[in-house]
Amino acid sequence: MTQKIVLAYSGGLDTSVAIPWLQDKGYQVITVCLNVGQHGKQMDQIQQKALKLGAIQSLVIDGQDDFAENYVSKVIKSNALYEGEYPLISALSRPLIIKKLVKVAHENNADTIAHGSTGKGNDQVRFEAAIHALDPEMKIEAPIRDFQWSREEEIEYAHQHKVPVPINFDSPYSIDENLWGRANEAGILEDPWNQAPEDAFALTQAIEKTPDQPDYADIEFKNGLPVSLNNKKMKLADLIKELNKTAGKHGIGRIDHVENRLIGIKSREIYEAPAAKVIMTAHKDLEDITLEHDLAHFKPLIENEITDLIYNAMWISPLFDALNSFIDKTQELVNGCVKMKLFKGNVTAVARKSEKNSLYSKELATYTSANSFDEQAAAGFMKLYTLPATVFEQVNHIHSKAKAQIGTEQ
């Protein structure tokens, strides 16, 4: 009996060539294309393409809400930017794709999963780490990595098997996208001294073309997550899509980043994440008035760890779960609204309010007569606050040289 295999399918050349290749190896191929909000992709065409190339079944699964509510949400709450820049676009979708693929494999008695990652990227690690965690018995095929085709060989194989080859395929970009943004690498971008040409971008306008009037976005948050945009209640996936359009029009969210991959290579990436940039800036701003001082200063330590775990393929791990419980606790009182100004590639929080949870007290902060801060208490605070350092200096005279010399003369 021929064995069934479930292939993570995007409709692009690599995963399309994988269909006849896996068939030649004796598999019956079931393709799964997960809709995580890829920009401008026709899912029905992708589905048909796989069938035409010989898949015995071609599934398109809508994962947009799952992706927004259970994956993107964690990045928002923990302000997660890898190396301070990358909002984890691709890293986030991998565990969800595998969750769905493993389910399809079990339902169809398939004992192998295939993915189209190369051997040089992080995605192979994320795919395979999730497969091992969810089903250690599951076998894995990675044709693009393991067969090590050159571009010419791949094109030749594609022609032989009637797989359509896109024009300009000799120096292509490698693109991955979802609701949360778009990642673009390879081709001309491989030289970090090459400025990314305009055709590398799809979600954002060049600043030269952005409107001369700003747009404003009022984003309302509940428990650290956006729930409405300009007073219109929206589910997270829709809110992100809407903001991608408005912020993209203003050229917001272009990121040009040379990043450290898990597998040791430095790579130059062009990201576009318009909505992510706006939402994360707003979220951080709301935390500034709702998180207590010590908590606000401690939280970035956990955020940093969570960010690395996501990037480094550890979505399914007890540390990740435990740290997210901490983050969820911190978000219980992150409620309120932030007004964002979108203009010429920049997004700025220009006003914020939190009716129930604002810790900002005008009475304490004001310099007018409405002041309720006890300034007498401030003088005593300084004495006690500096006491340990004062005692140390009086004993050791590190900074008060004159006295220090007298000290050594004695």
Retrieve residue 164's tokens.
Answer: 């359509």
Which one is catalytic: 123, 176, 182, 254?
Answer: 123
Q: Which is nearer to ligand ARG, 254 or 299 (by Cβ)?
A: 254
- What is the identity of the amino acid at 244? N
Which of residues 28, 174, 230, 324 is near ligand ARG by CB under 6 A? 174
Stretch that binds ligand ARG, among 151-159, 168-176, 351-359, 395-403 (CB under 6 A): 168-176
Stretch that binds ligand ARG, among 33-41, 147-155, 175-183, 218-226 (CB under 6 A): 175-183
Q: Which is nearer to ligand ARG, 197 or 211 (by Cβ)?
A: 197
Q: Is residue 357 near ligand ARG by the rule CB under 6 A?
A: no
**Does the active-site annotation cover 24?**
no
**Does the active-site annotation cover 174?**
yes
Residue appearing with tokens 């269909």: 19
**Does the active-site annotation cover 123?**
yes
Rule CB under 6 A: which of 256-285 touch ligand ARG?
267, 269
Contacts of residue 103, Cβ cutoff 8 Å, sequence gap at least 6: none
Q: Is residue 47 near ligand ARG by the rule CB under 6 A?
A: no
Residue positions in the annotated binding site for L-aspartate? 118, 122-123
DSSP code of residue 196: P
Q: Which is nearer to ligand ARG, 316 or 359 (by Cβ)?
A: 316
Q: Which is nearer to ligand ARG, 88 or 342 (by Cβ)?
A: 88
Cβ(254)–Cβ(54) below 8 Å? no
3-class secondary-structure state, position 177? strand
Q: Is residue 38 near ligand ARG by the rule CB under 6 A?
A: no
Residue positions in the annotated binding site for L-citrulline? 86, 122, 126, 174, 259, 271
Residue positions in the annotated binding site for ATP? 8-16, 116
Retrieve residue 173's tokens.
Answer: 């970009």
User: From CA 192, how far away is CA 383, in angstroms rounded?
Assistant: 53
User: From CA 278, how far away is CA 145, in angstroms rounded?
Assistant: 36
Task: List the one residue out of 250, 300, 304 whose CA is nearest residue 277.
Answer: 250
User: From CA 136, how far away is CA 130, in angstroms rounded?
Assistant: 10
Q: Which is nearer to ligand ARG, 126 or 352 (by Cβ)?
A: 126
Which of residues 68, 183, 273, 291 is near ligand ARG by CB under 6 A? 183
Minimum CB separation of residue 267 from ligand ARG in Å reads: 6
3-class secondary-structure state, position 138? coil
Which of residues 19, 33, 34, 91 is near ligand ARG by CB under 6 A? 91
DSSP code of residue 6: E
Q: Is residue 122 near ligand ARG by the rule CB under 6 A?
A: yes
Three-state secondary structure string covering 39-87: CCCCHHHHHHHHHHCCCCEEEEEECHHHHHHHHHHHHHHCCCCECCCEC
DSSP code of residue 197: P
Q: Which is nearer to ligand ARG, 179 or 239 (by Cβ)?
A: 179
Q: Count residues contacting ligand ARG (CB under 6 A)?
A: 11
Strands (E) in 286-392, as ranges, are 336-343, 346-353
Catalytic residue set: 14, 94, 123, 174
Residues that bind ligand ARG (CB under 6 A): 90-91, 122-123, 174-176, 183, 185, 267, 269
